[in-house]
Amino acid sequence: MVAAKQQIIQQLQKDILRLQGIRTFDNGSRQTFGLGDVEQAFPGGVIPTGTVHEFLCFEAEHKAATGGFISGLLSTLMHNNGVCIWVSSSRMLFPMGLSIFNIAPHHVIFIDVKREKDILWATEEALKCDGLAAVVTELKEMSFTQSRRLQLAVEQSKVTGFILRNDPLKLTTSACAARWQITSLPSELEGDMPGVGFPRWNVELLKVRNGNPGAWQVEWRGGKFTAIAQQATSEEIHTYTRKAG
């Protein structure tokens, strides 16, 4: 009887993780982005795909840093010649820079529109296309109802969505699986070498559905993420939680 109950509980846990976008493969392995401790903050130690992630970027430099970090995530999602759609009204991304993250620029379809409601419409329709690896959208405002509509779209298509919100005055609760905030860090050079080092970011998870918020520092080196610092202290985590409201 006890064994039967444990089996039922384990199956329910698997079903819940699957509904949250945490994919497992037939051999029991899980999709990883190489982010180590950052991934451990999510349920099951897996960053969920087939769901919507929200990124806060209120400054121009934060927007650039967030675009770079998301490109690192896209390199995993698009590794098998996948195609991504990037929707924006004021796109600043330099397509050729995507090659740093092992992304072929012609595999990203850019949709530039002016009105916010057109951005949301294009995003929702793109998220319904199960042939896409991911959809990235830059917008100012998104209500809870609108975020719920995007979440319902990916639950059918299993496409992963990344929403970059850039207006702090219009920040509201959303139905997204996680709320991130990415800021840039100074790169470090080896020895006395001139030039610019590898990209570095401070990665904050402000909210994680059924997970643990925190902050980490990561670097993009050799075509993958590499941790460069330990997880934030519990006091710092409490600060991040308060910042997220």
Domain segments of the chain: what residues? 52-186+198-227
Task: Check residue 245 and give its pLDDT.
Answer: 41
For the segment 90-129, what is each residue's pLDDT rounded down to a tens digit? 888 888 889 999 999 999 999 999 998 999 999 999 999 9
- Round to whole Å and give the CA distance between 52 and 176: 5
Q: Please give the average per-residue pLDDT across 200-216, as a whole number.
A: 92
Task: Check residue 234 and give its pLDDT.
Answer: 47
Fold classified for 52-186+198-227: Rossmann fold (3.40.50)
Task: Check residue 11 and give its pLDDT.
Answer: 72
Task: Check residue 32 and give its pLDDT.
Answer: 86
Confidence category of residue 84, pLDDT binned at 50, 70, 90: very high
Q: Cβ–Cβ contacts within 10 Å for residue 76, how many?
A: 21
pLDDT of 65 higher than 50: yes
Start-end of H helices in 41-140? 60-77, 116-127
The H-or-E segment that residue 154 falls in is helix 144-157
For the segment 189-198, what is each residue's pLDDT rounded down to a tens digit? 877 777 888 8
Mean pLDDT (the chain, rounded) = 84
Task: Check residue 29 and give its pLDDT.
Answer: 59
